[in-house]
Structures are given as C-alpha cells and as structure tokens.
Structure 1
Amino acid sequence: MRKFFICTITLLLCLSVSGQSNFSQLKKTVETEALYANHREALRLINSNRAKLSMEQQTELDVLKLECLNALGLHEESFALSQTILVRPRLTPEQEVRIRMQRALVYETGLNQLNCRRELQDAEEIFLKNSDLKTSFFTYFLMRKSSYFRTFGDDKLALKLDMQAEQYAESVTDRKNGAALNMFLGFENYSDPDTALPYFLKAVRLYKSYRHHNGVANMYNKLSNFYLKSGEISTAKQYNDSAVALGSKVESFDTMSEIYRLKSRIEEKQKKYGESLQSYKVAALWTDRENEAQRLTKVQERDLMYHYETNQLRAQKLTSSVRNTRKWNSFLVVGTLLLVFSMLILLYFFKLVSKSKERIRIQNESISDKNAALEKNVQEKEFLVRELNHRVKNNLSVILSLIDFERDECESEQYKRKFEHLHTRVKTISLAHHLFSYNINNFDNSTIEIREYSGKIIEPHKAGCNFPLIVETDMDPFNLPVDQALSYGLLLNELLTNSLKHAVPSEDQILKISLQVKIRNGIADVEYQDNGRIFGKKAPNKSLGRLIIDAMVEQLGGKCERRHSLYRVQFSVDGKPLG
C-alpha cells in the first residue's frame, strides 16, 4: 500500500511538471512569433490552446494577446480584452504594467488624453515599486510616454524622451525596442539627412542582429524612400531591391505592399512604365491579402469575445445557482426536525432546477435557430447584391463595347473623337461601380477610396496618350460616398480630356499635368493644372466638356474657380453644399 501511494504521488508530480513544461514551450513560441512581427500566427496559437490552460496561464497569454491585437491595429478588441483581464484576481506587477502600457496606446490612438495620461501614471508607479521590471519593459514605457507627448503637442519633450529611451536601450541591450527607437529618431530628423541617416542605418543593424527580417525589409524600404525623395534614384533602387529580396522571409502583407508600391514609383521615375504598372499590381494584391487577413482576424476575435461573454454570463448564473443551493441547504439544516417537510422542499427544489435547465436548453435551441435563419438571410442578401453589381458591371461593359463598335465604324475623325470621349466618361462610371462592388462585403463602409479611384482614371489617359505626358499627384487618402465619388470621377475625367485635347506646352517642354487633393476641416480642396501655354483650338465656354464640369461641381455641392489652366474645386466630403 505504501508503494502504491509513492507511485501515485510520483506520477502526479511528473504530470504537473510535464504540463508546466508544455505551457512554457507554448509561451516561448508565441513570444517568438510576436517578436518577429508574425502576430496573426501568435493569435492563432493563443486561441487554439487557451481552453486547455489554467486561469493563471490564460492570463499570461492574454497579456501577449493584447500586444498582438494592438500591433495589428485591432484597438477595440484589445481594449475589451484588457477590461476582462483587469478584473481577474492575483495579477502580477509585470502583467499589470504591460496591460497599462497597452491601454495607454489604445487611449492615445483614440485621442483620449486624460485616460492615456492616467494609464501611464499607473504604469510609472508600478516601475517605482518594482524596479526589477525596468530592464525588460522600461524602454517601451519611455517610448509610450514620448508618443503621448508627441500626439498631444509637446514635440521637444517627446524628442528628449526618445533620446533617453535610446540610451536606456543601449545600456540594457534592448535590441527590439532600440531598433524601433532609431527608426523614429530618423523620422524626427528627416529634414536633416546627415542626422537622420545614421539613425536609419543603426535601426537596420539592430534588426539584423536578431534576424528580424520584417524589420530589416521595412527599414530597407524606408531608406529607399529616403533616397528617392533626395533624388538619388539608383541608391533608392538598390535598397528597394534588397527589400524585395527579403520577400520570402517577410510575414507582413502590409510591408510587402509598401515595398512593391515604392518599387512602382522608382520604376516610374526611371520611365519603365510597364514594369511600374506590374509592380503596382503586385502591391495591390498584397494590400488585398492584408485587408482580407485583417477582416478575418477581426471577425474571429469578435466571435471569441462573444463566446467569452456568453460563458461569463453562464458562470454568473451558475454562481447565483450555487448561492441559492447554499441558502436551501442552510434552511434544511435548520429544519432537520421537520424531516418530511424538508424532503418535500428538497424535491421541489430539484424540480425547479430541472425546469430551469430545460428552459435554458429550449432557449439555446431557439437562439441557434434564429442565428441560423439570420445568417441564411444575410447570405441571400449578399448574393443578391453581388449578382446585381455583377450584372450592372456586365451591362456597362456591353455599353463600352457598343461605343467602341460605333467608333470603329465611323469614318469621321470628329465623331470618332466624340465616341472616344463618351467611352472615357462611361469607363469612369464603370470604375466607380467596380471599386464599390469590390468591397461589397463591407456593408459598414460603402464608400470609394479617392486616391485609388483617381489613379485608375488617370492610367487609361496616360496609356492612350500618343505623345510624352507627365502626371504628378499629391493626394490625401480619404473616402467618399459612391454618388459623390462618381461626380468627382467624371469631373477629373473631363479635366484630363480637356488637357490632352487642347493644352499645348511651350516649345521643348513635355505636357505636364498636376493634381493635388487636400482635406482641411472636412473640405476637399482640388487643384488641377497643366503647363499649356498655347492652344491648338479655342474651346467654347459652353462646350459639352465645360457643361459636364459645371454639372459635376454642382452635384458635389461645391464651387469652382478657374485661372488660365488652373482649376480649383472645393466641396464638402460629407455631401453638404458649401455656403
């Protein structure tokens, strides 16, 4: 018997040590994935193993999950998770300081200055009481504090804190945060290349020192952009090629999109327009993959949060049931002398519990049936919307084909040009519809991104131009509702058509078109200009193109000013007419 007890205890100890070892390996793997910016894989590991862990182990992984969610830009999900962690008992100082810093990031992103400052103060108090935590986390705390001051208007103090953080990272050999800090310091001194470049190069060295391929590729791309803006195209291309070469080792779709987008710009500067277009298409594919992955991650996290809240409600009901049980037991102890009466009460209690369980089961089945019906209804509506958009796009394609047939059969050059102008106008409508239908699953944001839409309108004009043409754009990224975007697209198409048809630059100059769109206090300010000095033919003031321009400005609820070849159009992005 004694031997049996010894063997049993030994077996239990072995199982306990094995379980702890497995968790340590899991935690190390998750930390490694997060370190190398593979945050979605880290989330997958946490979510797939969480149910098998104890509450203390779950809390350790949930703190890591907070950091991954913020790194992916899922701040709402991160904040909701932090709320659930903070109410748990027995949080360690390390866990609490990491939670406070991540909550400060969420509040800073939401421009909530008061709560952001409060979270940073709480974190600082924890560091004062637990100085042993500084080696691992104080560099990041100084970065968060610097970011707070930069966001809320004190750039000088922010720079001072960044310098302090960089020195502290050096003293404790914090390569991860040191790399990010040097990158930030480079951007803060961007106007002074001699000062900024050493910071960028040091960031590259630090990323390389722990084989952070995503960080190295990102820094190569930043350096490429740095040299491109300085006019050193060959050096910019070398760094961009180095970033492309690391593509197989980079986990971030967003980083790959930025690399190929910059590659397209460099090739355009080198007048390799075909290669530039191909690189732009590759960048768009990476952007699509990033958007899809982000959408799936957001859906998964919200689904997990829903299940967590459901389980929490069940736990509360169970706690309430346990309390009732204890109350009844106390009553039975007091009424021990009335045995028969006590037995009847006990039987009655069990009957109530049984009915409650049955009622809960029926309610759950009803909820499941309703959810299934709602999901089916949503799927049917999505299918109908997609089918409708598909047919409309097909009809627009047929219209474009009919216009092309009529143009080809027409012998008059004048009418051919009219059909070509009609083709570009219908094509502009088709592009707007295509971009809207492309995002048809995103019902919360049925808008069109204007920078991308403008590029797609400009591309056919450049491709179909039979003489040298330069188009320069400087646009703030913003979205417009579909109706407004369509009016904007037709306006831009007419301006481009007008320039290509009538503008003639001075001798020995290439026709150059510039488009600038800036957003100021909810007002879109569009400036369009070409370098035409003489005109092959004077266009009448009330030509069809001029009528379309005036009509589109009116539909936008804006106003238009013209001085020579400069058009300035202003309109409200919320669709309200300007006073």
Structure 2
Amino acid sequence: MRFRISLFLILTSLICFGQSSFEHLKKDLEQKIIHCNFKEALEIINANGDMYQGSAKVELDIMKMKILTELGLYDESFKLSQNLVSNSQTTPEQQHKIHVERALVFEINDDYSSCLKELNKAEQLISKYPHLKYKNYTNFLIRKSSYYRVTGSSKIAYNLALQAEKYAKTVNDTLNMPVVQLIIALGNRKIDSEKELQHYKRALYLYKRQHHYEAVISMYTNLSYYYFDKKEYQPATVYIDSALAIVSKSNVLSYTADVYKTKSMILEQEKKSDSALYYFKKASEYYKKFYSEQRDLKIKELETQYNFEKEKTEKQSLKKDIKNSRIFNTTLIISVLVLALFIRQLMMNKRKIEKQRRKIFENNLALKTSLEEKQFLVQELNHRVKNNLAVILSLIDFQKEQEKNEDYKYRFDDLYQRIKTIMIAHELYTYSVNYNDNALVETRNYLEKIFETHQNSTIRAFTYINDTEKIYFNVDKILSLGLLLNELVTNSIKHANPVGKLILNLELRKTNENQIIVHYFDNGTVFNFEKNNDSLGLIIIEGMVKQLKGNYTREDAHYKIVFPND
C-alpha cells in the first residue's frame, strides 16, 4: 500500500514538473518573439519540439508559425498551418490563433478572399467560446482592421481600429496597444495629418515603455518618413538619427536596412550625394544579409522537416514491431523468445539511429562549412539560385541512377527537365540590388535552350524548328512559357509516332491586338497525355496557361495557346 502511494506521488511530481517546465519554456519563447529574437526562438523550438506532445506541441508549432511569418518564410508558415488545421488535438484558443495567423499570411500574399474566410472562422470561435475574447480580441480586431485597410475599405478599417483601442483599454491590453495606435495613425493618413502624427508618437512612447527596440526603431523610421513625405527634412533627420543611434540593438536585418535607406533618401534630397551614397550602400549591404539569412533559414527548416519526417517514420516502424511482438506473446516460451528478439532489435535500432544521427550531424556540419565558404565566393543572388538548382539537378540525377524502377526513372527525367527549364531562365536573367520585376528575358534564346536540353538528354533523336519572334518577357511569364513548352516537348518525345524522324515545330508571334499566339505541333500520329485527369503533365500545361492568363485549344497533335502580352 505504501509502495503504491509513493509511486503515485512520484508520478504526480513528474507530471507537475513537466507542466512547469513547458510553461517556463513558453514564457521564454513569448518574450523572444515580442522582442524579435526570431532566429534564437526558432532554434529553441526546433531543439525542443520532440520533447512535447499533444496541446504543448501544438502551442510550440503555433509560435513557430508566427516566427516563420515574421521572418518572411510564408510558404513554410502556410505548410505548417495546414498541418495544424487538420490536427484534432488543438484547443479552441489554439484554433483561433491559427486562423488569425493564416489570415495574416493570406493578406501578405494578396489572397484577400482566403484572408476573410480565416477571419470569419476566428470570429465564429470567439462567438462560440466567449472566454477566448479576453486575451485574443484586440489582436483579432487589429488583423481585421488591417484586412479592410489593404482592400480599400478605409472607413471600416478605421472604425475597427477604434474598437480595438477601446477594448484594449477595457482589458488593459498593454501588449497590443502600441499596434492599435499605429493602425489608427495609418487610418488618419491623408485625412488628418495632426492625428496621424499624434498616434505615431503615442505608439513610439508605448514601445519605449516596453523596451521594444525593434519597434522603437521602426517607429522612428515611420516618423522620419512622415516628415520626409512633407519635405520637412530637419525633423525627418532628427528621427532617423534617433533610429541610427540604437539600430545596433536590432535583431532584424530588414529594419536596419530600412533605417539606412531612409537616411540615404533624406541626404539625397538635401543634395548631400556622397553621404547619401554611403548610407545607400549600407542599406544594400544589410538587405543582402537579410536575403541571405532568409535563404539559410529556409535550408535549415527543410533539414528540420526532413529529420522530423524521418524520425516519425522510425517511430511508426518501432510501434509496428511492438504490435507484432504482442501478437505472438501467447505462451511463456514464446514470450521469452519475443522479448529476446525485441531487445535485440531494439539495440540494433538504437545503434542504427545513433549511427544515422552521427551521419546527419556530420553532413550538417559539412553543409554548414560549405555554406560559410560559399558566402565568401558568392556575391549575387543569381549565383546562389543557379547553384541551388544545379545541386537539385544533381540530386535528381543521382536518385535516378539509384532507382531500379523504370517508371520512376522516367518521372525523375521529367522532373529533371522541369527544373532544368527553370534553371535556364535564371541563367538568362540577372538579379541585382536594385531588383526590378519588369526586367526582361529574350524568348527565342530561352526556348532554343529548352529544345537543346532535350536533344542532349533524351535517347530518342529528333529535330526541331523554332520559329519564334524576338520578344522579351518578364521572368514570371518566361518561366510559365518555358515549363509549358517543356511539357509539350516531353510528351512529343514520349508518345509521338511519326513516319520517319520526329520533327517538333514551334511558332510564336505577337499580334496587332497585343496578344501572343503560340502554335506547337509535331509530325507524329499520336499526341495524347494520359487519360487520367490527374496527369501531372496536363495539370502543369493547364496551370501554366492559367498563369499566363490565356487559353488553349488542341486539335490532334496541334496546340494553339493565346495569352495577353501585358
């Protein structure tokens, strides 16, 4: 009896200790997020994610989703949110936070209809569970006001901002009050300049009380730009110099870059060209560091996801072994044998896992060293993109060689050609610090290289006629056109049955109506994607035509695609 009581007390103590440990971790992470220590917080979550399950794991993932959004890793944040939405272990409050954060991701990516749907779901949860309102309603109103502001409903947005201010005062929400003041200031822009300035200064004051250096720097920059817009350069200089005085305390490189950029703009208006150029170069340097940091974080996040999926698979395999062991555990002798086999298997798995962990650690260390060395050699974003695409192509090629299934090899070939098509576009397109979305790529040369790539990589011989006008497209449009051609050529090589040698024909013309007309055909007797509507090639063709804002028709082996030249 005493033994049972002692065991119960020990288990209770362990449970309480675990809960206390998580609460301490959660508070620490919340403080780091508030003060923009995003990288450090992300490392802590990734390091401790496997230690918690259920609601605690969901809580960590919600914080991670917010961090990824703040770091500009919107795709990664959205993927994580998809897993959270389908998680049955989330509490109503966690569901509310997920919908609000997803609304922000959709707003940033200009998907306003999806943004509104997420906000409506979050509002329904507050209506269904009134106790959620106390901690979460101010932030919800901020997010909803932001949605209406970016969609042009400024009056609704302003009224929501005032509601947020009133509610924050009611519940003494000091954390969100500075943000409320900021959105009220934005609501007065071009309407009441004095009120706009008043609320900017109020937000700055509140952020100072919180010792939130990143937010203070951002507010100094906003105030400087406020005066800059009015061509009052003296007060603009005072505020931007205040930001420069504490910019070294910032953990966010983009904030630092914005400060230097604003300083450069002011000096340029004051005809101080040398100083303006100096600060412009500093801004460019920090923007480069920011984009490089984003890329490194994306790579680390991919590694983390890979390790997570691998460990998940291993755990599932281990559970299956245990289940199979229990089935045969019917007699004492069989139980002993199964136990012995299980222990042996467990030790083997443990050694295997340890070996794999060491290998992963060594690979990670080698990758980190390699990345650090490349930072000294690679100065432009275009080089980094092409290097990554080359690595991906090599991995695909390597995996193809390892694969014995011919069908999978063909799929790897298709994937190789698609990525090669993207890589060719990047080889012809150069990024710079002054990145311009209207920079153009010459079409004929790009499409020529796609044909050449297929000639060099396919076993089946063919000739082609590339009758393309010399037209220039931006990189988004040229990529869509390239992927479209790649799928058509791939299908011709796979399925065309010509009399004689296979000949591919491509015509591309610009009409007087400012439209582009593309004709593609081969001399085969068959030109048919798989009947399955889920055929990846057909999905890509339809998707690329949609991205080009065009339409297509097909008659036998002849494709006609029309899209606007905008």
Could you say which TM-score interval applies, normalised by the shorter chain? 0.5 to 0.7
Question: Matches of 1:61 and 1:40 in 2, distance apart?
Answer: 14
Deviations along 1:224-259, one digit per CA (max 9) or x if unpaired, are 011111111111000000111111322211101000
Deviation at 1:214, TM superposition (A): 0.9
In structure 1, what residue type is equivalent to 2:128?
K
For structure 2, list consecutive stretches of 5 or more residues without a partner in the other structure.
Answer: 390-422, 444-473, 479-509, 513-547, 549-562
In structure 1, what residue type is equivalent to 2:102?
R
The 5 A counterparts of 1:91-490 are 91-192=90-191, 193-321=193-321, 324=324, 436-437=382-383, 441=387, 443=389, 447-449=429-431, 452=434, 477-478=436-437, 480=439
Deviation larger for 8-17 or 232-241: 8-17
Question: Matches of 1:155 and 1:164 in 2, distance apart?
Answer: 14
Residue 397 of structure 2 corresponds to which residue in structure 1? Answer: none
Question: Matches of 1:317 and 1:281 in 2, distance apart?
Answer: 54
Does the aligned pair in 2 maintain the 1:260–1:280 contact within 8 Å?
yes
Deviation at 1:317, TM superposition (A): 3.9
Residue 407 of structure 1 corresponds to which residue in structure 2? Answer: none
Does the aligned pair in 1 maintain the 2:284–2:433 contact within 8 Å?
no
Q: 1:250/1:19 Cα in 2 relative to 1: closer, same or farther (>3 Å)?
A: same
Paired residue secondary structure (2:430):
strand
Paired residue secondary structure (2:48):
helix
Paired residue secondary structure (2:123):
helix
In structure 1, what residue type is equivalent to 2:287?
T
Question: Matches of 1:558 and 1:166 in 2, distance apart?
Answer: 56
For structure 1, list consecutive stretches of 5 or more residues without a partner in the other structure.
Answer: 333-338, 391-432, 454-476, 485-518, 524-556, 560-571
Question: Matches of 1:345 and 1:86 in 2, distance apart?
Answer: 42
Deviations along 1:516-571, one digit per CA (max 9) or x if unpaired, are xxx9x989xxxxxxxxxxxxxxxxxxxxxxxxxxxxxxxxx999xxxxxxxxxxxx
Using the aligned pairs only, state the percent identity: 31
Paired residue secondary structure (1:478):
coil
Question: Matches of 2:341 and 2:32 in 1, distance apart?
Answer: 52
Does the aligned pair in 1 maintain the 2:65–2:80 contact within 8 Å?
yes
Using the size of structure 2 for normalisation, the TM-score is 0.61
Deviation larger for 281-290 or 167-176: 167-176
Deviation at 1:363, TM superposition (A): 13
Question: Matches of 2:375 and 2:29 in 1, distance apart?
Answer: 39
Q: 1:290/1:89 Cα in 2 relative to 1: closer, same or farther (>3 Å)?
A: same
Does the aligned pair in 2 maintain the 1:175–1:207 contact within 8 Å?
no
Question: Matches of 1:362 and 1:5 in 2, distance apart?
Answer: 38
In structure 2, what residue type is equivalent to 1:128?
S
Question: Matches of 1:34 and 1:558 in 2, distance apart?
Answer: 54
Larger Rg: 1
The 5 A counterparts of 1:49-128 are 49-128=48-127
In structure 2, what residue type is equivalent to 1:80?
K
Paired residues, what number?
418
Question: Matches of 1:198 and 1:274 in 2, distance apart?
Answer: 34
Question: Matches of 2:68 and 2:225 in 1, distance apart?
Answer: 28
Q: 1:16/1:451 Cα in 2 relative to 1: closer, same or farther (>3 Å)?
A: closer
Does the aligned pair in 2 maintain the 1:204–1:220 contact within 8 Å?
yes
Paired residue secondary structure (1:448):
coil
Does the aligned pair in 2 maintain the 1:250–1:256 contact within 8 Å?
yes
Deviation at 1:289, TM superposition (A): 2.2
Residue 568 of structure 1 corresponds to which residue in structure 2? Answer: none
Q: 1:209/1:307 Cα in 2 relative to 1: closer, same or farther (>3 Å)?
A: same
Paired residue secondary structure (1:117):
helix
Deviation at 1:261, TM superposition (A): 0.8
Residue 542 of structure 2 corresponds to which residue in structure 1? Answer: none
Question: Matches of 2:152 and 2:343 in 1, distance apart?
Answer: 60
